[in-house]
Amino acid sequence: MEKIKTLINEEKLNNRIEELAMQIYNDFGDEETVLVCILKGATYFTIDLSKKIKSNNVILDFIKISSYGVGNRETTGHIDFKLGISENIEDKNVIIVEDIVDSGKTMKYLIEYIKTKKPKTVKTCALLDKPSRRTEDITIDYVGFTVENLFVVGYGMDYDEKYRNLPYIGYIE
Ligand code: 5GP
């Protein structure tokens, strides 16, 4: 069993997600906005974020890819597509919602993929950002927290499929 230390507690998570939701509502108002959740890591974040956006025009969609090997802490750069979006997003506002941006390879790939569907706008949102590890030149429009180079788990994020159900964000010592 790994030893997990708390990095961001539930109260801090909730407060920051509330702020991000307000920022998104200020930017898009009641215009149709598609939140594209990247499975599985961004599920808890996307659901909580969507509940806090005070608009009746939010649509959810899901993408499943895998860029991490089982039990592997480094991204391989090779992205395996498992499930594409199901909604027609042409001429719509799209926000790609990720758990964490590390090298930026996954987000870069997702932005290009979403752009092929001809949306009106594409924005990016990540609960966590690890800028010290970035190799790709990408913009994250909505960032929850900037974190050090730690391996984080919880609130959707796993280590070997475990710890997703932790209600807070921790790191493996
Ligand atoms: P990138 O392509 O930006 O290097 O990696 C992004 C993906 O790697 C994230 O969606 C996430 O699945 C995974 N990842 C990166 N850093 C961490 C981390 O500290 N903990 C966990 N659980 N996954 C991470």
* Short-list 100, 36, 110, 44, CA closest to 73: 100
CB half-sphere exposure, 33, CA atoms < 13 A: 26
How many A from CA of 30 to the centre of ligand 1? Answer: 31
Q: CB under 6 Å to ligand 1: residues? A: 41, 67-68, 75, 98-107, 151-153, 157-159
102 among known catalytic residues: yes
Would the pLDDT of 70 be above 50?
Answer: no
Q: Mean pLDDT, to the nearest integer, of 33-57?
A: 97
Residue 67 above 90 pLDDT?
Answer: no
* Residue 2 maps to a domain: no
**Residue 165 within any structural domain of the chain:** no
DSSP characters over 51-104: HHS--S-EEEEEEEEEEE-TT--SEEEEEEEEE---S--TTSEEEEEEEEESSS
pTM: 0.94
Atom 12, ligand 1: which residue's CA is nearest?
Answer: 41
Rg of the chain on CA atoms, in Å: 15
Query: What pLDDT band is residue 77 in, cutting at 50, 70 and 90?
Result: low
Total number of domains in the chain: 1
Q: Is residue 172 domain-resident?
A: no
With a pLDDT cut of 90, the percent of the chain lying above it is 86
Domain of 24? 11-150
The CATH number linked to 94 is 3.40.50.2020
Whether 94 is covered by a domain: the verdict is: yes
pLDDT, position 79: 79
Average pLDDT over residues 44-55: 98
pLDDT number for residue 62: 97
